[in-house]
Chain A
Amino acid sequence: MTTLLDLALVAWLLALAVHVVAQPDERSAIVAFLAFGLLLGLGWVRLAAPDVALTEIAIGGGGTGILLLRAEAALRGRDKNAEPMSTAGKAAVALGCAAVSAGLGLAVLTFSSPPPTLAPAASAALGATGLGNPVTAVLLAYRALDTLLEKVVVLLALIGVWSLAPDGLWGGAPEVKPAAVPGPLAYLARVLPPFGVVIGVYMFWVGADAPGGTFQAGTVLAAMWLLVMMAGLYPPPDTARPLLRLVLVGGPALFLAIAFLGFVFADGFLAYPEAMAKPLILAIEAALTLSVAAALAMLVAGPARKAPAR
């Protein structure tokens, strides 16, 4: 029975991907891509990776979906500057892509057996971190350097987006609210955020022991903030606002500070003293959750469109 579900999921994923590529109408293609992201989340559940499933549905489906839909609306009818490829060229490209797929598929089929795994190593050290969720442990203890660098990448991307604002608008606020706010959106923006904030905080809190964590919680909080801004209930902040910048930098800065304190109080960079591991990780996660929420929301909001208030 579950095999049938898997086969149906795989078939739908491939069909949707082809549809996204082949559909001539851009908006339909992007809506199909949203459905693709949600189904992909289900696929991750079937791969026994609920943490990834939550991230994929929230960021891959939701966040990227809003981003692309907004871009499509802004660019409608203007994004046609290249000559279409000849049929022969397309066939050659299709052949090459098929070869890449076939090679990857072959690699999947001939994975070494028994498969290499780091699960026992992750499990053995779990006790020292005081965490119950091995994925959170990998993100914030064993491979914390990756997570730290990733946060910096997100901030760099945000700096990149902000720097695209015209000179006169630097430091101003992005424009998120559409020209006419639909009634249902305004209603949702009033009703949903209290629940969303509770769910976000809960996801952050259980992340230590169960599926959930900074990214997932941060995305939910970002979505609530975006909703409020899109409905025009609360205007987007000036990008030069000190409080916003403090929240954005706060997470990675605290992470980095604790990482350096590791030289003094533990074995080295990014090492936690064993007794303090869990509270430290929770503190980092809390600050990171706010940073991620602010960064993701501002990434979707885009560069400044209004001159800063003086």
Chain B
Amino acid sequence: MTAVLQPGVLFGLCGAGLVGIGLFAVVTQTGLLRRIVGCNILGAGIFLVFGAVARRGAGAGFDADPVPQALVITGIVVAFSASALAVALLKRLSELTDGDRAEAAERESGS
């Protein structure tokens, strides 16, 4: 039981749970912005599992294996860039569909 309570394992399990929650949000949410948030939760979970691997790989005087840590930092920055691109696409999409709707309404009222 005590083995499960070590941070390396505990946060790994937390990460596993977050992956499930994020995945659920990505698949079932109706709002696209919510799906982007879901992607972020999913990513956070994957990073945490990776963090658990790093924590268990402590050695050579370090408290955690530096290689997975560096990869997670890279991952966080890339995930942020992806979110920024997704949000920009979403905003543009909403602008364009709004424009279409306004045009359609205009045509209807004109005819």
Residue ranges of A at the interface with B (Cβ–Cβ < 8 Å)? 2-3, 6-7, 9-10, 13-14, 17-18, 20-21, 26, 29-30, 33, 36-37, 40, 43-44, 46-49, 51-52, 55-56, 59-60, 63-64, 67-68, 70-72, 74-75, 78-85, 89-90, 93-94, 96-98, 100-102, 104-105, 107-109, 111, 115-120, 122-124, 134-135, 137-139, 142-143, 146-147, 150, 153-154, 157-158, 160-161, 164, 215, 292, 296, 299-300, 302-303
Which residue of chain A is the closest to B30 with respect to CB atoms? A82
Do residues A303 and B92 form an inter-chain contact, with CB atoms below 8 A? yes
Complex Cα spacing A122 to B67, Å: 8
Q: Closest CB-CB distance, B74 to chain A, in whole Å?
A: 5
Q: B residues within 8 A CB of A49?
A: 51, 54-55, 64, 69, 72
Contact assessment for B57 and A146 in the assembled complex, using a CB-CB cutoff below 8 Å = no
Q: Given A21-B29, A122-B67 in contact, is the A6-B51 Cβ separation under 8 Å?
A: no
- Known contacts: A108-B12, A118-B57. The answer to whether A3 contacts B5 by CB under 8 A is yes
With A10-B13, A101-B17, A160-B85 known as contacts, the answer to whether A68 contacts B33 (CB < 8 A) is: yes
Shortest beta-carbon distance, B49 to chain A, in Å? 6
**Are B97 and A81 in contact (CB-based, < 8 A)?**
yes
- Are B37 and A20 in contact (CB-based, < 8 A)? yes
Identify which of A46, A56, A98, A107 contacts B20 (C-beta below 8 A). Answer: A98
For the complex of A and B, 8 pairs with smallest distance between CB atoms: A101-B20, A117-B57, A48-B63, A108-B12, A157-B81, A104-B16, A134-B66, A138-B70
State which size class the interface on B falls in. Answer: 35 or more
Number of A-B contacts (CB under 8 A): 280
For residue B20, give the distance in angstroms from its CB to the closest CB of chain A: 3
Roughly how many angstroms separate A30 CA and B98 CA in the complex, as a whole number? 24
Contact A123 B44 (CB under 8 A): no
Contacts of B12 in A (CB 8 A): 105, 108, 111
Q: What distance in Å separates the Cβ of B57 from its nearest Cβ neighbour in chain A?
A: 3
